[in-house]
Homo-oligomer: A and B are copies of this chain.
């Protein structure tokens, strides 16, 4: 699907492009390619949409990594390279259950002073995917867009703890929030996810996606609800980037289909779950780089047989 069609929506992706060092019970990596923006783009590009990353790296960021994105038709005009700057670095260790992790190191580096600039040719993009970053950066991107049809926000508890008012300003301006279950509870003050989603909708977004990791994802819109399971896997090798890959699959599918109805958003979270189920099969971005269209379509059939049933009432 990597042929770009001029008829599809443009997608602007904001998020970190970074170095990750990961430890899981299965092994350990040195600094490898990572970051929310990277994972989102590597998922979204599977839909052949015209997408651009807005982010920042230092001049320590290798051409090899830049080429990975360029080769997949990710526009990098908005990827600022700071001379004498160092790229954002995150290091973490997963526990045996793979559901919890400790952050070992975070070095903001060039991210500390990041001023996002959306390339002129992408300011008219239809879809904006705001990956996890400081809410003021996300807000600045929204302000540079001309008339986006759909703004999707991903965020995390760190910003609720440290920049709640700014985060609420962003939430008020977006159409879809994707957030994990604990964060939804923290943001809303409600334990029930049904109530939490309703409260978050009252803050602005008409769609709320609650990610439950290995337990799947829920989509809420008014009084409607849809659930996409995570694919039960024999082995989760490395969960890093799964949530971002989900967001990338979600926004990439919407950009490809240009249909923002609840009905089509169901399909978008199925595709998000589909791509995320591949992401965790290998370390870092490795699996996403080898992933083919045929594998994605085959796994769609697995998702169908996992969830579709037919009861004939008598």
Chain A: residues with CB nearer than 8 A to chain B? 96-97, 191-195, 212, 215-216, 218, 224-227, 229, 232-236, 266-267, 270, 297, 300, 305-311, 313
Smallest Cβ distance from A265 to chain B, in angstroms? 10
B235 touches A192 (CB 8 A): yes
Instruction: From the candidates B96, B227, B233, B305, name the one contacting A307 in the complex (CB within 8 A).
Output: B227
Taken together as a complex, chains A and B put the C-alpha atoms of A76 and B191 apart, in Å, by: 41
Residues on the B chain within 8 Å of A236, using CB: 192
Say which residue of B97, B193, B195, B229 sits within 8 Å of A216 (CB atoms): B229
Docked pose: A228 CA to B71 CA in angstroms: 40
Which residue in B193, B224, B306 is a CB contact (below 8 Å) of A226?
Answer: B306
Whether A191 touches B306, Cβ cut-off 8 Å, given contacts A232-B218, A311-B270, is no
Task: Select one of B224, B226, B234, B300 contacting A311, CB under 8 A.
Answer: B300
> Would you give the shortest CB distance from A82 to chain B, in whole angstroms?
42
- If A215-B212, A232-B218 touch, whether A226 touches B267 (CB-CB below 8 Å) is no
Say whether B227 contacts A193, CB under 8 Å: no
* In contact, A306 and B227 (Cβ under 8 angstroms): yes
A192 CB contacts on chain B under 8 angstroms: 232-236
Is A305 touching B218 in the complex (CB atoms < 8 A)? Answer: no
Give bound CA distance, A95 to B14, whole Å: 40
Inter-chain CA distance A212–B232, complex, in Å, is: 12
CB within 8 A of A229: which of B96, B227, B310, B311? B227
Given contacts A215-B215, A218-B232, A232-B225, contact A96 B309 (CB under 8 A): no
Measured between alpha carbons, how far is A232 from B209 in the docked complex, in Å? 13
Q: Are B97 and A225 in contact (CB under 8 A)?
A: no
Query: In the complex, which residues of chain B have a beta carbon less than 8 angstroms from the beta carbon of A195?
Result: 234
> Which residues on the B side are within 8 Å of A216 (C-beta)?
215-216, 229
Give chain B residues whose Cβ lies under 8 Å from the Cβ of A224: 305
**Distance to closest chain B CB from A305 (angstroms):** 7
Bound-state Cα–Cα, A169 to B117, Å: 67
Tell me which residues across on chain B come within 8 A of A226, comparing CB atoms: 305-307, 309
Q: A194-B232, A226-B305 are in contact. List 16 more A-B contacts (CB 8 A).
A: A192-B232, A194-B234, A216-B216, A216-B229, A226-B306, A226-B309, A227-B229, A227-B307, A229-B229, A267-B309, A267-B310, A270-B309, A307-B308, A307-B309, A308-B308, A308-B309
**Chain B residues with CB under 8 A of A309:** 226, 266-267, 270, 307-308
Given contacts A212-B215, A215-B215, A311-B300, contact A306 B225 (CB under 8 A): yes
- For A306, list chain B residues within 8 Å (CB): 225-227
- Report the bound CA distance from A306 to B217 in whole Å: 11
Q: Complex Cα distance A159/B307, Å?
A: 32
The 6 closest A-B pairs by CB, nearest first: A215-B215, A266-B309, A227-B229, A194-B234, A267-B311, A194-B232
